[in-house]
């Protein structure tokens, strides 16, 4: 008789436990879901840009661009050779930004806007060699940025130099 009652008691206890856990699980899922549904604290950075005189050079990742820049490993196949330096005193150009001071209209321009895209395959307008060891560089570049990488900074610099070379020869 006692043995007949024991399986029923065990079944009732195990059946009751999941029902007690359900509200706790739902609360936990709700708490975990709130941050996932919330907007990000740091908004994605807008397109990177650099203004030289009346022309703003702006990087894009998709679509048609004014300049397609390919980063190449060797200096022999390049239009421009850019050396990356560790000290701003050694640089011809420096790209430095502060991500905390970023505004949403940082790429707004009054003058001409030229778009720049770094490409790995396909047609390109300029080939740029970027290296820390280059001794016969066309320009030395220092980059200290939370948003710019060396390749994007070099692409902007090459597009700027190419645009200036084209406008001075016309």
More confident residue, 72 or 6: 72
* pLDDT at position 68: 93
Tokens of 33: 């879901």
Residue spans per domain, the chain: 1-38, 49-169
Whether the pTM exceeds 0.85: the reply is no
**What pLDDT digit, counting tens, does each position of 107-136 carry?**
776 788 899 999 988 899 999 999 888 678
**What pLDDT digit, counting tens, does each position of 130-163 carry?**
988 867 888 999 998 877 788 889 999 999 988 8
* pLDDT at position 40: 47
Q: Range with the lowest mean pLDDT among 30-39, 73-82, 149-158?
A: 30-39
Print the SS3 string covering 39-106. CCCCCCCCCCEEEECCEEEEECCCCCCCEEEEEECCHHHCCEEEEECCCHHHCCEEEECCHHHCCCCC
């Amino acid at each position: 008789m006692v043995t007949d009652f024991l399986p029923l008691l065990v079944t009732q206890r195990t059946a009751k436990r999941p029902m007690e856990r359900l509200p706790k699980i739902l609360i936990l899922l709700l708490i975990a879901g709130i941050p996932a549904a919330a907007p990000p604290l740091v908004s994605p950075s807008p397109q990177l840009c650099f203004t030289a005189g009346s022309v703003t050079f702006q990087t894009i990742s998709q679509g048609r661009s004014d300049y397609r820049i390919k980063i190449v490993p060797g200096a022999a196949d390049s239009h421009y050779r850019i050396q990356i330096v560790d000290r701003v005193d050694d640089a011809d150009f420096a790209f430095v930004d502060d991500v905390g001071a970023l505004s949403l209209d940082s790429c707004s321009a009054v003058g001409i806007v030229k778009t720049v895209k770094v490409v790995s395959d396909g047609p390109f307008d300029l080939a740029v060699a970027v290296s820390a060891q280059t001794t016969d560089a066309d320009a030395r570049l220092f980059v200290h940025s939370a948003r710019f990488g060396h390749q994007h900074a070099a692409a902007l610099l090459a597009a700027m130099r190419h645009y200036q070379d084209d406008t001075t020869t016309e």
